[in-house]
Amino acid sequence: MTCFPTEERDGTLIITLTNGERNTLNPDLLEEGAAALQRLAQDPPKGGIVLTGAGAHFTCGMDTKVAASLDKAGQKRAVAAIDEFAAALHRLPCALVCAVNGNAIGAGGIMMLCADWIYAASGDYKIGLPEARAGLPFPAVPQAILDHWLEPAWRRRLALSSMLIGPKEAIGAGLVDATAMPDDLIDKSVAKAREMNAQPGFRACKRQLRAKANAEIDGILSSSS
């Protein structure tokens, strides 16, 4: 059973991260996701992609119990899987909208920064990058994404204090573009993905905008292979 079930809606592909109550991540899931995203990059949907989470959470990041159980080889595999998944998400040539439906912790924040637009459901939940508190420093590709797409003061605040913020405050931090009512979240996200992807110059402009970050990511992946 896939952890990334999809639904096609009028040319837009909705991908729903689905893994237990908290949608946590692990090496198997990340490798599956990276492979799926790499295939989509070869034949992207005409209406773009919406990424969301099942249930009450977007994702609560890496499964800390799984991470604590890994030996050195397992840790190396996990880091490689995180890097490949984040790189594949960042490299998607079509419009990518994150529909943040609940807590987006750690890797969830990185996934949001890979998107071209981020809608967050209004509500009482948290967004943040508490890797310091979890004892899980950022792998190289997520760090490159942070460096390119999160404003320096907020990068310092979120990464070093492990502070968690609500969806409205996340707009000021540059992690969210707009909020939506929970019942409207997916519809608005699908409309935004379709609208952005329909622009005749969208793919070229996205390629230009991400060229420096993607070149840095390419260097990271080639040096670790």
Q: What is the pLDDT of residue 1?
A: 80
- Cβ-count burial 97-108 (b if 16+ within 10 Å, e if not): bbbbbbbbbbbb
Q: Which of 125, 126, 123, 127 is nearest to 180 (CA)?
A: 123
Q: From CA 214, how far away is CA 141, in angstroms rounded?
A: 10
| Topology annotation, domain 6-224 | 2-enoyl-CoA Hydratase; Chain A, domain 1 (3.90.226)
pLDDT of residue 224: 83
Closest CA to 190 of 2, 1, 15, 5: 15
Using one digit for the tens of pLDDT, what is the confidence trace for 97-149?
999 999 999 999 999 999 999 999 999 999 999 999 999 899 999 999 999 99
Mean pLDDT by 10 residues, the chain (225 residues): 94 97 96 98 98 98 92 95 98 98 97 98 98 94 98 97 98 98 98 98 98 98 88
Calculate ∠ Cα 7-115-76, nearest 5°.
95
Q: What is the pLDDT of residue 120?
A: 98
Domain locations in the chain as residue ranges: 6-224
